[in-house]
A and B are shown apart, each in its own frame.
Chain A
Amino acid sequence: MSATTAMEVNAEARRILAVSISKLYASRTQRGGLRLHRSLLLSMVMRSARDIYHSSRECEGPSDAQPTQEEPMDTSSSLEEQTGLPEPVQPEPQPTLNSTELPPEEPDSAEEDSDSEITEDKENLSPTRQSRKRRGKVSAAPDFLPSKRARLEPGEERYAAPLGSCRAGAGESLAALSLNRVIPAF
């Protein structure tokens, strides 16, 4: 894959991810509650887009992989403060980057880390991997994401979230977006 097409694919994947995430948030306020079918389809698209994004980034440069390991810890906590999610922050293993251009054929399991192409990471995972605690949502705050601020009650003040810890460029990582969470647990 040439560099330009990789970048186009990358940009496309990012755009689709951004659109999907805003749809996901919008569906929370929909009348009638979260629609399971729609949430499932959204999560599938997001998974494909995320995998394409990673695979195209792999073509851009594998050297970017290492520093992003440390990223998720800082930024996910800041994001969670913004969105008000009470998520425990788990260290995110970098999923094995797909060298294929196509998204995986069968996104069988919503547990993205049990996908066959990243089985080798399983052995190296920390024990927390075994826990079924929900992982944090989008780990970094890439520039294309819409700013999701919690709605303030009258009288509340908004304090500056430490977004500065998100390094743009090499720091961008959509590692292990926990797509399972879009399926509401009824």
Chain B
Amino acid sequence: MEEESDTRKINNSFLRDHNYATEADIISTVEFNSSGELLATGDKGGRVVVFQREQESKSQPQRRGEYNVYSTFQSHEPEFDYLKSLEIEEKINKIKWLPQQNAAYFLLSTNDKTVKLWKISERDKRPEGYNLKDEDGRIRNPLTITSLRVPVLQPMDLMVEATARRVFSNAHTYHINSISVNSDLQTFISTDDLRVNLWNLEITDRSFNIVDIKPANMEELTEVITSAEFHPQQCHTFAYSSSKGSIRLCDMRQAALCDKHCKYFEEPEDPSTRSFFSEIISSISDVKFSHNGRYLMTRDYLTVKVWDLQMENKPLETYQVHDYLRGKLCSLYENDCIFDKFECVWNGSDSVIMTGSYNNFFRMFDRNTKRDVTLEASRENSKPRAILKPRKVCVGGKRRKDEISVDSLDFSKKILHTTWHPHENIIAVAATNNLYIFQDKVN
């Protein structure tokens, strides 16, 4: 691919430095908050790490705000379901931020079974001068107290604390795959393989089931829900994707149970590409509304598709992410890679879409110019301030100097989770246990 002259990327990378890759450190989700000031990551060990962008300083104007660790906390612990004799993994499946309404930040994090609302707040003052206890906290002898004083707030070193404010549990029989906050900022949905539940952020002991696709006889199961998301502006509309490659748009005003969809998006299968694995590769792994609410993007194993909400019978655009894998589906099935769930993401203006691939490659597609680029997130290529070089996979025949052949791709290095800053061209890319943050070149 020729050099991208318009959108070169500088690596302003923040690497979570690990010399050994423990499984607990594998990043399982990344998400910017709605202002882009904070970036949250969740990992397999149930921890959440929040990064905050430094304020741009006048003394170093070319050094645009870097992201540094702001808060780290253990969100979920491993649990045991005694009735089913099953372990519940602590891996964080999804994090979603609530828009900021006061000085504190709120986010929802979920594992397979439980959603939690976390409040992240700063403390920079501490009360001093208690009457009944001294500065160490020891209780004072009441006989020695001869006068009364009012405690005074004194400044202290900034402390960021995270507290769990709500725990939404016991509503899902199957594994939660997504959560989505409603634009009304009062409700959210949590989705598992067969059901979508609606919660009020204030109420933890009750949720409403709004989609249930569980068949009466489980042996007749043919389809599961893979992801669901609220419309960004219409608080009554949400969409959910299925393992069969279809997306349903539902209106909550129609009925309490949204089993009847308003719109059904599906592209008829091309019979010439039928194989053993057609069902697996057509399963949608991620669905995202565009910021303007007019489009839907879906990711299946080999492609990303952009759908116009007004057109149900076929996608508006289809982008091939790594079509060279089509002939390798059998090996990818054997090494389990065919089950990988890649996410996809819009940029702030909905003009560029991005998704991950193997060998730590990630792809960006410009919807207007129809140009695409493949970039790599790796330590060797990511010295600070280095410009990322576009990569190319050679699909056969003569391999040019900088190209990589399909057979040398490292399938253990996959980029499943990416996120894009809501307004600026800053992206965060999770490559196994490393987090890369890239931003546009400063001119």
Contact call B218/A186, Cβ cutoff below 8 A: yes
| Cβ B86 vs Cβ A33 within 8 A | yes
Task: Name which residue of chain B comes closest to A180, CB basis.
Answer: B219
A12, A32, A40: the one within 8 Å of B224 (CB): A40
- B175 contacts A35, C-beta separation under 8 Å: yes
Q: Which residue of the partner chain, among A12, A102, A108, A186, contacts B222 with CB atoms under 8 Å? A: A108
With the chains together, A160 CA to B194 CA distance in Å?
43
B252-284: CB near A (< 8 Å → 1, else 0) gives 000000000000000001010010110110010
- Give B240 Cβ to nearest chain A Cβ, in Å: 13
Q: For residue A17, which residue of chain B has the nearest CB?
A: B276
Category for how many chain A residues contact B: 20 to 34
B87 an interface residue at 8 Å Cβ cutoff?
Answer: yes
Contact of B274 among A13, A44, A103, A109 (CB under 8 A): A103
Q: Is A148 an interface residue (CB 8 A)?
A: no
Whole-angstrom CA separation of A17 from B361 in the bound complex = 31
Complex Cα–Cα for A12 and B81 (A)? 39
Least Cβ–Cβ distance between A58 and chain B, in angstroms: 18
A41 touches B193 (CB 8 A): no
Q: Interface code A93-109, partner B: CB below 8 Å = 1, 0 otherwise? A: 00000000011010111
How many whole Å from A111's CB to the nearest CB in chain B? 6
CB A166 to nearest CB in B, in angstroms, measures 25
Rounded to whole angstroms, the CA-CA distance of A13 and B88 in the bound complex is 35
From 148 to 186 in chain A, residues with beta carbon under 8 angstroms from any chain B beta carbon are: 180, 183-186
Interface size class of B (residues with CB under 8 A): 35 or more
A19-B333, A38-B339, A40-B224 are contacts. A33–B279 as well, Cβ < 8 Å? no
Question: How far is it, in angstroms, between the C-alpha of A108 and the C-alpha of B279 when the chains are bound?
Answer: 12
- A residues near B193, Cβ cutoff 8 Å: 36-37
Task: Please name all residues of chain A whose beta carbon is closer than 8 Å to the beta carbon of B177 when the two chains form the complex.
Answer: 37
| Given known A16-B333, A41-B280, A48-B276, contact A36–B222 (CB-CB < 8 A) | no
Decide yes or no whether B395 CB sits under 8 A from chain A: no
| Contact A44 to B279, CB < 8 A, known contacts A37-B243, A107-B222 | yes
**Cα-based distance from A109 to B215 in the complex (angstroms):** 11
Q: Is the interface of B mostly helix, strand, loop or mixed?
A: loop
Q: Shortest beta-carbon distance, A38 to chain B, in Å?
A: 6
A44 touches B174 (CB 8 A): no
Chain B residues near A37 (CB-CB < 8 A): 177, 193, 224, 226, 243, 283
Q: In the complex, which residues of chain A have a beta carbon less than 8 angstroms from the beta carbon of B91?
A: 32
A102 touches B274 (CB 8 A): yes
Are A16 and B276 interface neighbours, CB within 8 A? yes
* B220 on interface, CB distance cutoff 8 Å: yes
Q: A-B pairs with the 6 shortest C-beta distances?
A: A180-B219, A33-B86, A32-B89, A36-B193, A44-B279, A110-B219
Q: Which residues of A contact B (CB under 8 A)?
A: 12-13, 16, 19, 23, 31-33, 35-38, 40-41, 44-45, 48-49, 52, 102-103, 105, 107-111, 180, 183-186
Given contacts A41-B283, A110-B220, A186-B218, 11 further A-B contacts (CB under 8 A): A12-B330, A32-B86, A32-B89, A37-B193, A37-B226, A45-B280, A105-B271, A110-B219, A110-B222, A111-B219, A111-B220
27 A-B pairs in the complex with CB atoms less than 8 angstroms apart: A13-B276, A16-B330, A19-B334, A32-B91, A33-B86, A33-B88, A33-B175, A35-B175, A36-B174, A36-B175, A36-B194, A37-B224, A37-B226, A37-B243, A38-B339, A40-B221, A41-B279, A45-B280, A48-B276, A102-B274, A108-B222, A109-B220, A110-B220, A110-B221, A183-B221, A185-B218, A186-B218
